[in-house]
Amino acid sequence: MTITSKAIDAVVDAAEDLSWDLSDPQDVDSKMDVLASALLDLGAISFTRDEKKRFDLYDILVKYAKEGLIDDSAAGYCSEINNGIRRFDYDMHDGDSFRERIADEVDALQDEIKTAMKKLEKNVKKANE
Amino acid sequence: MLKKLTNRVDDALKTAGLTWMDLSARAEQIILFGSTAVGCDRPDSDVDLLCVGEGKDLDTGRLHLLWIKNQCFRDPLWLGSEIGTHVAQYGVWLKGKPTFAASSAPHPRALERKRERIFRRAHALLRNWAALSPRFRAAQRRKLRLDVQRLELLQRGLAVKPNPLLDQNWRNKRNRVKWLKAVLSGEGDLWRVVESVMKMPLGNRLPRFEHLQEPSCG
């Protein structure tokens, strides 16, 4: 499968869109799936049938990291954001705001995704020369 | 039975590089909840543990650790929350003993929060639908439907059931649309927004309503 600049841009856009409004856990949760969709559409790696049975952004980032396409820390940031979403989902947020809890992790995840996509775009261009 | 559960917990802890000894040393109480506690888990289900004490939440997809402070067990808001009523009804104490009633009615705030979450998720999905791939559309719509099922249980003053049981109940429903409408009709704008999400196409197809396809994950 060919990796296109358009697909890379879609991943970067989805990552940037994550921080657009951090007040709503359900909105962030759906945007995490938008990012996961863009990473799947990118086609940089393939998933086995077993892996596809149940996977989300965290699993995708773990696999990207195993393939050396993104830093290991990206999955860690994703896990922290998921923790925040689930805690709010269970109504266990101890009065902290959702934004405060996840803002740093969202920034860090965005940085990792952007760095990975820059590197990937460079490699794709090099391969096409 | 308990041996089987502790083996399942040990395996899940291993995937996160943890051991029962580590966790047990840090937590005053450890409570298994969710599908594994009820025995309706699937091989790919995660293990949910509520730990009482000071620690960091963890969610690896295989292990879900939630930490709460001991005071929560004396807080009526927590005891009447979705998680509080679920743990009271279905939780299995792997360390320590229950210090609160085995069943408690959901607090009105739990219902209020649930309505709010359904409303927010439905609106978020309407905004982001076009950018979601079909499998994530189905997964998000399942989350919305599960929340409506949880709301219905809370409305009836019952504890929320684990997801595989809710999925099973859903599969057994004869008229799903009618059921959703009945649950949400007295909830202001909720039915209108949820109906809009349910009408959205899962793939590149014309909108349909009745099928409500979903993945079979637990």
The distance of Cα A87 from the centroid of its chain, to the nearest Å, equals: 19
Give SS3 for A35. helix
Tell me: do B9 and B89 sit in the same domain.
yes
Sequence-ordered list of residues with C-beta below 8 angstroms from that of B97, at least 6 positions apart, any chain: B29
Q: What is the pLDDT of residue B207?
A: 40
The bridge status of strand B47-53 relative to strand B58-59 is: unpaired
Domain contains B53: yes
Domain contains B102: no
Tell me: do B141 and B191 sit in the same domain.
yes
| Chain A residues interacting with chain B (CB cutoff of 8 angstroms) | 14, 24-27, 29-31, 33-34, 36-38, 40-41, 52-56, 58-59, 79, 82-83, 86-87, 89-92
Domain contains B138: yes
Last residue of a domain, one of B95, B116, B136: B95
Tell me: do B145 and B177 sit in the same domain.
yes
Spatial separation of the C-alpha atoms in residues B150 and B154, rounded to whole Å? 6
Q: Are the C-beta atoms of residues A106 and A19 closer than 8 Å to each other? A: yes
CATH number, domain with residue B66: 3.30.460
Q: What is the pLDDT of residue B209?
A: 41
Domain contains B163: yes
Domain contains B159: yes
Tell me: do B67 and B8 sit in the same domain.
yes
Last residue of a domain, one of B65, B95, B125: B95
Q: Are the C-beta atoms of residues B91 and B142 closer than 8 Å to each other? A: no
Spatial separation of the C-alpha atoms in residues A17 and B124, rounded to whole Å? 13
In order along chain A (129 residues), what is the average pLDDT of each group of 10 residues? 87 94 91 95 84 82 94 94 86 70 95 96 86
Tell me: do B83 and B160 sit in the same domain.
no
Q: Does ipTM surpass 0.85 in this model?
A: yes
**Residue (of B170, B59, B181) closest to A90 by Cα position:** B59
Query: B71 lies in which domain range?
Result: 2-95
Euclidean distance between the first and final Cα of chain A, in Å? 17
Total count of domains within chain B: 2
Spatial separation of the C-alpha atoms in residues B193 and B195, rounded to whole Å? 5
Domain contains B209: no
Across the interface, whether the CB atoms of B133 and A89 are under 8 A apart is answered no
Size of interface A-B (CB pairs under 8 A): 88
Domain contains B101: no
Q: Are the C-beta atoms of residues B128 and A30 closer than 8 Å to each other? A: yes
Domain contains B216: no
Q: What is the pLDDT of residue B214?
A: 52
Last residue of a domain, one of B95, B118, B139: B95
Across the interface, whether the CB atoms of B44 and A34 are under 8 A apart is answered no
**Residue (of B205, B215, B69, B193) closest to B136 by Cα position:** B215
Residues in chain B with pLDDT values less than 70? 1, 101-103, 204-218
